[in-house]
Structure 1
Amino acid sequence: MSVDHYTYRVTWSPEDGEHVALCAEFPSLSWLAATPEESLEGIRQMVSDVVADMETAGETVPVALAEKHYSGEFRVRIPPEVHRSLAMQAAEQGVSLNRLASAKLAG
């Protein structure tokens, strides 16, 4: 798999006074640079080096988020009073609790 498939983000770091690049699949890695382009180039090279080291050591390399299959389901535990309130809202709107929760999560 190409390291280009990983999820990268570049943002400004006021604490460091530089741009910081991150990779979601490798949360412990970051790269600081003066420009967004330099920080992205730095984190991509770092991830490439780490992946190469992991492969050499026979370690399992993280799968890119974009390459994973998502079922569309996940479970969440909520307090009974929140469950009741959501069930009431769903009933009042004439929709299922699942549809109401999905709409709320989608924002």
Structure 2
Amino acid sequence: MKPYNIIIKPVTDEAGNYFSARVLEFDGCIAAGETKEEAHDNIYEVLEGFIEDMIEKGEEIPEPIGDEHFSGNLRVRLPKSLHKSLSRAAKLEEVSLNQYIVHKLSK
């Protein structure tokens, strides 16, 4: 399997305490588990199903978001690793990179 970006975070809500996992490259590819390890295992099962369905439908499978996607070039030069980190954080917040940076800088 390709190195997709898996995000796992703890959740506390009306359902209790658990871990939520998602794949950044696939909208709606989400799983949960009582432990981080269980969420990790479950997300790969869901991901396999997503990829199988996309292949059956003839849809293009997204490539993993990797370092090569981050030029580090905004209006200000910054390290690629920081650009990647900011981009992932913005995706998690479901806002544009520009909105995320402006929000963080305005604090």
Q: Deviation at 1:21?
A: 0.9
TM norm structure 2: 0.61
Partner-residue secondary structure (3-state), 2:61: coil
1:47 correspondence with 2:47: yes
Identity %: 23
Give the match for residue 81 of structure 1: none
Runs of 4+ in 1 over 4 A off after TM superposition: none
- What RMSD, in angstroms, separates the aligned Cα atoms of the two structures? 2.5
Q: Is the 8 A contact 2:29 2:50 kept in 1?
A: no
Distance 1:50 1:37 in 2: 20
Distance 1:50 1:41 in 2: 15
Partner-residue secondary structure (3-state), 2:22: strand
Q: Which runs of 5+ in 2 are unaligned?
A: 83-104
Distance 2:31 2:39 in 1: 6
TM norm structure 1: 0.61
Distance 2:26 2:65 in 1: 11
Per-residue deviation, residues 1-44 of structure 1 (Å, max 9, x unmatched): x24x1000211111142111111111312111111111111011
Partner letter of residue 28 of structure 2?
Answer: S
1:14 correspondence with 2:12: yes
Give the match for residue 73 of structure 1: 73
Aligned residues: 79
Q: Which runs of 5+ in 1 are unaligned?
A: 76-97
Partner-residue secondary structure (3-state), 2:31: strand
Q: 1:29 to 1:67 in 2, by over 3 A?
A: same
1:58 correspondence with 2:86: no
